[in-house]
Chains A and B, each alone.
Chain A
Amino acid sequence: MSLRATHRDAGQVTVVDLSGRIVLGDGSALLRKTIRGLLEDQRKNILLNLADVDYIDSSGIGELVSAFTAVKNQSGDMKLLHLTKKVRDLLQITKLYTVFDVFTDESTALRSFS
């Protein structure tokens, strides 16, 4: 299943709802394009909702890290919401779980940006 991305504004935060697979090719490219577009629009507080992302490969992990770094470099913040078990396990074994702020509740995640 290819990746789909939609975004919605929640105050100063943009929530990006992703579904599908973040993998080498179109999936990683779409995530990159989405984050770049938001940064160009000065939307620098980004919450990635990964509830419907059940698969990420090393290219997808790299794209998440790249997005995180790009947002931070513009003095913004990018956090993760609703990790599936597979994605959480993947971030844990790669030690990235401690790098990203991860939330299981959207309202708590949104408040954390203020």
Chain B
Amino acid sequence: MVPDNKHLEITLETQVESVNLAEEMCLRVAEAAGFGEDDCYRIGMSVREGVINAFHYGNQERPEKKIHLAVDITPEKLIIHVLDEGQGFRLADVPDPLAEENLLSTSGRGIFLMRAFMDEFDVVPGRTGGAEIVMSKKLPPPGGGSTNGQGGQDASPHQGA
């Protein structure tokens, strides 16, 4: 049997409005895939944070650069890719927002939230030289309806920053 994979991608302008657009698009995909309200919230928030990261840190808010968003649905999970056209970064270099000295920082929580809200999260070098965020969430069980509970995790962060 051929796996029922679906792929959707969109190129976004480097502007604030792209954050809402990306969130709305991915929420529709997540709802159609059967995710419940709580998981949709987590997925939507993670997409927002990924695009904010690309908009602000990756593309440095430069309008000539683009943000590339892709969504894949495999039989097992929803996978989201957010690619910027910046210089790239290493996860190990991202400060821990839970460290005492960073608690009152006004930024730097986006990566933390994506890690907390998704089942898998990574940052890899992008094909355009920027950073590519890759994150996924397991699909809810067929016929089992939504995973409005903890969605396979307890909203506490995975290890790391």
Bin the interface of chain A by size.
20 to 34
Q: Which 7 A-B residue pairs are closest in the complex by CB-CB distance?
A: A62-B106, A58-B109, A25-B16, A58-B110, A66-B106, A62-B107, A57-B48
Within 8 A of B (CB), among A18-61: 23-25, 57-59, 61
Complex Cα distance A57/B110, Å? 8
A65 at the interface (CB under 8 A from B): yes
Q: Would B109 and A61 count as touching, CB distance under 8 A?
A: yes
| Residue on A nearest B99 in the bound complex, by CB | A95
> Which B residues lie at the A interface, using CB under 8 A?
16-17, 19-20, 41, 45, 48-49, 52, 97-98, 103-107, 109-110, 112-113, 116, 155-157
Minimum CB–CB distance for A3 against chain B, Å: 13
| Residue on B nearest A66 in the bound complex, by CB | B106
Q: Would B48 and A23 count as touching, CB distance under 8 A?
A: yes
Q: Would B48 and A94 count as touching, CB distance under 8 A?
A: no
The total of Cβ contacts below 8 Å across the A-B interface reads 54
A99 at the interface (CB under 8 A from B): yes
Cβ contacts under 8 Å, A93 to chain B: 113, 116, 155-157
Complex Cα distance A11/B145, Å? 50
Minimum CB–CB distance for B109 against chain A, Å: 4
Complex Cα distance A84/B109, Å? 20
| Residue on B nearest A62 in the bound complex, by CB | B106
Chain A, residues 66-106, CB within 8 Å of chain B (1/0): the string is: 10110000000000000000100110011110010000000
| Residue on B nearest A86 in the bound complex, by CB | B41
Could you show 5 A-B contacts with beta carbons less than 8 Å apart? A23-B20, A59-B52, A89-B155, A93-B156, A99-B103
